[in-house]
Structures are given as structure tokens and as C-alpha cells.
Amino acid sequence: MIRLDTNSYEVREADATARIKLVRENGSQGVATVTYRTVQESATDGSDYTGTQTGLATFEDGQTTAIIDIPLLNDTIAEGSEIFGVSLGSGIGAGVGLIRTANVTIVDDDANATYTIAQPEYSAPESEGKAIIEVKRGGILFGAGSVRLKTADGTAVAGSDYTAIDQVITFLDGQSTQTVEITLIKDGLGERNETLNLSLSEPTGGIIGNQNTALLNILDSDPGSFDRKKLVQGLTTPTAIEWTPDGRYMFILQQDGVLQVADTQDLDKNGQYKLKSKPFVDLSGEVNGIRDRGALGLAIDPQFAMGDPTCIFCTPTIRQKPLKIVV
């Protein structure tokens, strides 16, 4: 029996020929022949390949494989992949097996490969120390190619927030994806998230696609450098703080409705503000300070001055409206 070794072949337009393999099985004694022909489909006979309307493949005594060479015609037109067919006819000295037809795909090598950045936006925590950027090559992947990837400052600054790159990325024959690592610098500073820009340029073996830029967000993971200091002690569940316009007195509202005052110019031995010996006002009889209830908000008249008649507004949760206190 003589048959094609597969029902689908793929060749490059730049190849000299499409090599179609025939297999002889279940015995190889004596000479055997089989006719074949090509069938024009989307590939054009005389433009994309040199067709053979009919041909004859011969197996010598003991021979188990044979090759049909169909010449290909390489043009410079970007036209996409095209197909023609091969069909086996009748055999002499051997029958014809089940695989007797096949499609031959001629992959066009004139269309440009396209280089793109895989995503328009990336995000990476500063604490990870790196961001991985994926660059893609689509379309025709025959042969090697390259493209340059470059970073540029946004709100992030090269050398302080990340390590700049200006790198040529090389793609091997058939390779469609490459990854590039951008080093992120952990600075220990509490700051906003920052950004940098990515762009592609200088392609070889292809062209730059539409998605040729991207934004990288560096997500800050530092808690910041806070100076923690205890200013006042002796309070019970404080809920709100306000300062007098001159900045001297700190009013502290407690959940139970007691309004305390600390004098920033009167310090104890630990350097903390001293509370006045008596609360500024005691609303504990007006406030339900159980669980998550209580006095929760405080506002002071901008014209406030200690010793003068003034207004203070509190928001005890037992009332629907703020309580106005005139002192």
C-alpha cells in the first residue's frame, strides 16, 4: 500500500520546494508506482508554486519511502498564507492507502512581524524589587528579529525609584514572546504610588505595532517614617481633637461627653501636655456613651479665645442635632 505520510504540510514561501513524503507499507517487494496531481486552491499555480497536473512517483524493489518535490515561487508580496492540494491517483504494483489527499500551506514570509508590549499598564509592589514586562512578536515569526525597549521617568525617578533600561530584545526564529525585568528600588520612604513609561523602538525583522507604549505603576509598600510621641495622658476613650486658633490649647472630646483641655505650654516631667485640673465641660449626663455610641465630633469657633464667651459644638449620638455649648 502507498499513502501520504500526513494529510497536512506546512512550508515557507522562501523554501525551494514543498517536499511531500510518500510511504509504502505492508510489503515492499518489486517496483511500484503511484500517480499524483496538484490541486490549486488559494495558492495560485504559476505564481506561488509550479504545479504538476499529473506526476508519477516510483518505489524501487525494497524501497519504503519516496519524496515528491513541488517547486515553490517566492515573491515579495505580503499576501498571507496560501494553500494548494496534493492528491494520489492509482497505483501499479501496490494499492493506495487511506491517506491519499493533503493540503500544503505556504506560509508567507513577506508580511512584517509586529512588535508590541503585551499590556497597556502594569503594576508591581516596590517591595518585590522587580517588575516583569512582556514584549510580543506577532505575525510572521520566521527568522530572528529584535526591538528596543526603553524606560522614561513619569513620577518615578530613575536611580531613586527604579533602574532605567535601554535594552535591545532579541527574538529567535519562531519565538513570539520575551520578558524583561525592571529593577525597583526600595527606598524605605512612605510616599505615593509612582509611575514610569515604557516604549518600543528600532525594530528589525518587523514593525512596531499599535500597542508600543505602556505605563508601569510602582506601588509603595513603605509605612513611612512617623515620629511617634505621646502628648497627653489621663484620657478615657478620646474621639475627637481640636486646637484653638492660636495653637496653644488642645481640646479633647471623650466618648462619655467629657471635654478635656491640655495646655501645650504647661508640660509635665515627661514633656507631655498637662490636662487642666477640671474638664472644660462635662456632658456625660447628656451623652449615651455605651459601646459604639457617645460624643463623636467637635468643632470650635474660629474666633475662640480662652476666657471669652464662645461657642463649642459637639455631636453626642443621643441627639439628632449637634449640641451647642456656650461658655
DSSP codes joined into one string, 107-132:
E-SSSPEEEEES-SEEEEEGGG-EEE
CB-based contact 3:23 (threshold 8 Å)? yes
- Going residue by residue through the chain (327 aa), what tens digit of pLDDT does each one get? 999 999 999 888 878 889 999 999 999 999 999 999 999 898 888 888 887 668 999 999 999 999 999 999 887 776 677 899 999 999 999 999 999 999 999 887 666 789 999 999 999 999 899 999 999 998 777 778 899 999 999 999 999 999 999 999 999 988 999 999 999 998 777 678 899 999 999 998 888 999 999 999 999 876 665 566 788 888 888 988 998 888 889 999 988 889 999 998 999 888 889 999 899 888 888 787 777 778 888 888 777 766 554 455 555 554 445 555 544
Q: Which residues, listed in sequence order, are joined to residue 171 by a DSSP beta bridge?
A: 145
Specify the pLDDT at position 326. Answer: 47
Q: Which three cell numbers stand for residue 192?
A: 505615593
Specify the pLDDT at position 297. Answer: 82
Distance of CA 35 to the CA centre of its chain: 55
Specify the pLDDT at position 321. Answer: 54
Specify the pLDDT at position 227. Answer: 65
* Spatial distance between the Cα atoms of 94 and 100, rounded to a whole number of angstroms: 13
Fold adopted by 2-107 = Immunoglobulin-like (2.60.40)
Write the DSSP string, 189-228.
-----EEEEEEEEEEESEEE-S--EEEEEEE---------
Specify the pLDDT at position 309. Answer: 46
Fold adopted by 113-219 = Immunoglobulin-like (2.60.40)
Q: Write down the residue that cell numbers 488642645 correspond to.
A: 250
